[in-house]
Amino acid sequence: MVKPEMSIKMKKICKASLVLAFVGVLLFACAPMDKDDYKLGDPVSESLLSFTSSPSASTPNIIVLKNTSSTAGVALWDLGNGSTAKGDEVSVAYPFKGAYTVSMSLYTPGGSATISQVIEIAEDDYGLLDTPGFNALTGGAAATEGKTWVFARYTRGHFGVGDVNAAPEAGGPAWWQCDPNGKDGCSLYENEYTFIQKGTKLIWKNQGAIYTNENGMNLLGMGGTPNPVVGDFDVPYTPADNLTFSLDEENMLLTLSGNAFLGFFTGVSEYHIISLTEHELYVWCGSAAEPGNAWYFIFVPKDELKEPDPEPVIPPDPKPEPEEAWFRPNAPTNLLRTAVDYESWFSGPDWGGGLEPGISMKNNISITIPDGIGGGEWMGQFKIRTHIPAGARERFDFSCNITATQPGTATVKMTAADDPADDDFFYDGNVSVDGTRLFEAADHMLFRETESILLVFDFGRFPAGAVVTISDLCLQKHIPLSEKPEVVNLWPAANVTTSQWFSGPDWSGGLTAEVTMLEGNGFELTVPEGVGGSEWMGQFALHTDIALQASHDYEFSCNVTANADSQFTMKLTNDPEDDAKVSFYDNALGMKNGSTVIRKVAVKPASADAEAAMLIFDFGRTPAGTKIVVTDIVLQEYIQ
């Protein structure tokens, strides 16, 4: 709703009833009714009453009325234009020519009497209409073409309906308010109303139709066409010529002549003004077609109606494109410029080891594949112990050149020296080399700290006699080509609740696991006695308010510590029964007596956004009594 810029409440001015009254003599001059003597006085008769009427010195359209009665009392005036006044002397403005019957009633302790006389106004005086209300509505006397108003179609509530018994309602009608441009496609917005001060003329234009509902159409008595776009009816209607209006600023009423109405037909022509300013006309009216309804309309000057600029379309944050690291083997950022230790293990097909490759370490590392090489992965291992520590979740880039005199397939792996079997840092077992191959692995991390990063190469699938050269080794803390957005772990800020269902072999449920939620991030769970031994017989779910978008990739990780070996299941979803929202499901996760890092990268809801992610663990295949601790849960957007 457009708020009024100023409140207008002034004297009544209209064509048939217009007054600009100035009280001259105060009422308490001599008023027997105001005394403390309540005895009845002598009866008053019309013969004792008289008053004079004379034009003011400024204009003959302002008449000074003066009580000249021979008995005292309180004078009340009917000014002949629908207005009243009180006092022994009043001034009243009549802007329009005509005959006005003025009556004075005198009230005394003995009763009251009334006399009347007709006052003739010879000419119009539109200068008397120079009031805030008339000027706001018409543009003033200088606006000879008047001022044109149209529906404020881009304002919410420019058209609405509420309870007539509650009108006018603060904040607009409670039942319904039209959305901005909500009636586009019907005839409502084609109405224009021009108010002209001189002659209080009204020019109403439309495109040959008006808008109303079925009850209004029936009252109007004319058939219309159902509007397929916005509902209700467009009814053929041509506005009458020579329309006029009256504006009662004291009672805040706008009345149109000739059964004219404002846009939507309700069967009435009188409108209650809520706000009238230079920039807004806000009115309501009752309805003859629907007596319980109050209809509300907001208008603005036609030259001020402007379609607002469309809301800017803010695209969703794009998933950052994967970007290579800035590899500089000879730069100070290369941590491998210091001395390293190495070891090798080469074997034949029997995995017995004992083969000795030729190794030369000068500027580069050259390895000659020995005779008898077994031909399988991990039969030709070359390990570099870097002595470079890594913090948990610290990001690194690695690159090197691999040159071979004969084609073959290499394996490249980076891991922790104290746990060479861990593949979490990175592992690539399919590095084809035919000539020279640049190998790059940017932005990788371990999920726990280590005192030394271990680089592992395997050349077991190269032919005997091939010379493989490793050069330009570069291991550095991650250096992106450009700034990336900060990746935020969504889990710590989430609201998390839990549920569980454990059952024996009969699937009847009823078992309860002992669970302790850990401060910060994780839980501790003991598998109950009697657990059935099958998948989904030991479900424990973490319910969150984390929303996952199907258009984004995510990364998940956690640390699982247990005191027994087994298999377990994990599932990240929004709805266990809706496969469209499953981000990942893995029922072959290995749990060992110790600590295991679980990591899933580039996962996302299968096809539909997940409004509230649910992380489900299943320990149905885990031995009863096993104590499981899950910590360091990370769920964040995945960046390559």
Question: Where in the chain are all domains bearing CATH 2.60.120.260?
Answer: 335-477, 497-637
Report the distance separating Cα 329 and Cα 398, nearest Å.
10
Report the distance separating Cα 464 and Cα 406, nearest Å.
9
Asked if 274 and 4 touch (Cβ cutoff 8 Å), the reply is yes
Asked if 276 and 284 touch (Cβ cutoff 8 Å), the reply is no
User: Does residue 68 carry a pLDDT above 60?
Assistant: yes
* Whole-number pLDDT of residue 40: 60
Asked if 557 and 634 touch (Cβ cutoff 8 Å), the reply is yes
Residue 368 pairs with which residues in a beta bridge?
A: 358, 467
* Whole-number pLDDT of residue 16: 32
Asked if 354 and 347 touch (Cβ cutoff 8 Å), the reply is yes
Distances (CA, A) of 610 to 15, 498, 536, 638: 67, 18, 22, 16
| Minimum mean pLDDT range among 243-252, 374-383, 466-475 | 243-252
Q: Tell me the pLDDT tens digit for each residue of 182-205.
A: 999 999 999 999 999 888 899 999
* Whole-number pLDDT of residue 8: 31
Tokens (6 digits) for 24: 């001259």
Residue 338 binned pLDDT confidence (cut-offs 50, 70, 90): low
* Whole-number pLDDT of residue 7: 31
Name 508's Cβ contacts closer than 8 Å, sequence gap at least 6.
Answer: none
* Whole-number pLDDT of residue 459: 97
Report the distance separating Cα 114 and Cα 219, nearest Å.
43
Mean pLDDT (the chain, rounded): 85
Topology (CATH) of 22-126: Immunoglobulin-like (2.60.40)
Report the distance separating Cα 289 and Cα 264, nearest Å.
11
Asked if 460 and 346 touch (Cβ cutoff 8 Å), the reply is yes
User: Does residue 47 carry a pLDDT above 60?
Assistant: yes
DSSP secondary structure string for all residues of 541-610: EEE----B-TTS-EEEEEEEEESS-EEEEEEEES-TT-GGG--EEEEEEEE-BEEEEEEEEEE--SSS-B
Report the distance separating Cα 16 and Cα 12, nearest Å.
11
User: Does residue 99 carry a pLDDT above 60?
Assistant: yes
Residue 5 binned pLDDT confidence (cut-offs 50, 70, 90): very low
User: Does residue 500 carry a pLDDT above 80?
Assistant: yes
pTM, full prediction: 0.41
Is beta strand 253-256 parallel, antiparallel or unpaired with respect to 243-248? antiparallel
Residue range 557-564: mean pLDDT, rounded: 90
Q: Tell me the pLDDT tens digit for each residue of 119-128.
A: 999 988 877 7
Report the distance separating Cα 294 and Cα 299, nearest Å.
17
Q: Tell me the pLDDT tens digit for each residue of 581-623.
A: 788 999 989 888 888 878 888 888 887 888 889 999 999 999 9
Report the distance separating Cα 432 and Cα 441, nearest Å.
15
Which one has a higher pLDDT value, 31 or 374?
A: 374
Report the distance separating Cα 284 and Cα 270, nearest Å.
9
Residue 639 binned pLDDT confidence (cut-offs 50, 70, 90): low
Question: Where in the chain are all domains bearing CATH 2.40.128?
Answer: 132-304
Tokens (6 digits) for 255: 């009345």
Q: Tell me the pLDDT tens digit for each residue of 397-420.
A: 888 999 999 999 999 999 988 888
Nearest CA among 174, 137, 132 for reference residue 1: 174
Using only C-alpha atoms, the chain has a radius of gyration, in whole angstroms, of 46
Find the Cα–Cα–Cα–Cα dihedral 120, 125, 130, 135, rounded to 10°. Answer: 110
| Minimum mean pLDDT range among 52-66, 347-361, 417-431, 563-577 | 417-431
CB-count burial class (<10 Å; 0-12, 13-18, 19+) for 191 = buried
Which one has a higher pLDDT value, 535 or 331?
A: 535
46's enclosing H/E stretch is none
Q: Tell me the pLDDT tens digit for each residue of 237-265.
A: 999 998 988 888 888 999 998 899 998 99
Number of H helices, E strands in the chain: 2, 39
Find the Cα–Cα–Cα–Cα dihedral 484, 571, 527, 532, rounded to 10°. Answer: -170
If one looks up domain 497-637 in CATH, what number appears? 2.60.120.260
Nearest CA among 91, 89, 94 for reference residue 123: 94
Report the distance separating Cα 395 and Cα 476, nearest Å.
9
Residue range 348-361: mean pLDDT, rounded: 93
Residue 447 binned pLDDT confidence (cut-offs 50, 70, 90): confident
Name 107's Cβ contacts closer than 8 Å, sequence gap at least 6.
Answer: 33, 73, 74, 76
User: Does residue 537 carry a pLDDT above 80?
Assistant: yes
Report the distance separating Cα 80 and Cα 53, nearest Å.
13
Tokens (6 digits) for 129: 């209409």
Report the distance separating Cα 29 and Cα 35, nearest Å.
12
Residue range 447-476: mean pLDDT, rounded: 91
If one looks up domain 335-477 in CATH, what number appears? 2.60.120.260
Report the distance separating Cα 419 and Cα 60, nearest Å.
110
User: Does residue 446 carry a pLDDT above 80?
Assistant: no
Cα end-to-end distance, the chain, whole Å = 50
If one looks up domain 132-304 in CATH, what number appears? 2.40.128
Asked if 530 and 600 touch (Cβ cutoff 8 Å), the reply is no
Question: Where in the chain are all domains bearing CATH 2.60.40.10?
Answer: 22-126
